[in-house]
Amino acid sequence: MKVLTVVAHPRTNSLTFAAADRFAQGLKEAGHETEVLDLHRSGFDPVLWEADEPDWTGNHKRYSPEVETEIERMKKHDALAYIFPLWWYNMPAMLKGYIDRVWNNGFAYGSSKLHHQHVLWLSLAAASAGHLEKRDYDKMITHYLNVGLANYAGIPNSKVEFLYETLEDRPGHMEALLAQAYNLGLNFAKN
């Protein structure tokens, strides 16, 4: 399976990128292929301008060259993975802008849906599982990603995973988080 792995973090020396590397390693060891798209280093512009605003009067709009390039990139892959830090109980603006611009009308919804059968949303949270559960943030985030995005765009198998307490400095914790990311790659699209 060919998996497009999209990473959104401003620093390449972040835990987010370390997790993305381990996830990709797991994918490869399971026999999958992956392309890692670094949204920041690619120069992607997350701002939705008029050229990429959905056209509600027709189904065959031609979007900006940048968005058309990303649509073609997505078409070359069988599955998707998004790896990002959890900021304000949501994805970073860079990734939200990517979704807004690339998952567009006539490609991801409307007259056509995404062809991908699987998507993984891997979010790194400084908070604990208990903190997210306390006010149902975990349910809200999971519902938004699985239903509001993936299901709406036609992806039948959407999974949200969290790496918790990413700022904790205790022996073995970071290694355990990276092992979790690796195992998610190794077992991608199973179940």
| 165 vs 189 pLDDT, higher one | 165
Classify domain 2-186 at the CATH class level.
Answer: alpha beta
pTM score, whole prediction = 0.96
Domains of the chain by residue range:
2-186
pLDDT digits (tens, 9 = 90+) for 30-53: 999 999 999 999 999 999 999 999
Backbone angles phi, psi at 54, to 5 degrees: -55, 140
Residue 38 CA from chain centroid, whole number: 11
86 close to 136: Cβ distance less than 8 angstroms: no
> Is the predicted pLDDT of residue 185 greater than 80, yes or no?
yes
Q: What is the pLDDT of residue 123?
A: 98
Q: What is the pLDDT of residue 191?
A: 61
pLDDT digits (tens, 9 = 90+) for 51-96: 999 888 766 789 999 999 999 999 999 999 999 999 999 999 999 9
Shortest CA distance to 131 belongs to which of 167, 159, 99?
A: 167
> Is the predicted pLDDT of residue 129 greater than 70, yes or no?
yes
148 close to 109: Cβ distance less than 8 angstroms: no
In b/e form, how buried is each residue of 73-89, taking b as 16+ CB within 10 angstroms?
ebeebebbbbbbbbeee
Q: What is the pLDDT of residue 90?
A: 96
> Is the predicted pLDDT of residue 168 greater than 80, yes or no?
yes
Please state, as a whole number, how many other Cβ atoms lie within 10 Å of the Cβ of residue 36.
17
Q: What is the pLDDT of residue 23?
A: 98
Confidence of residue 15 (pLDDT cuts 50, 70, 90): very high
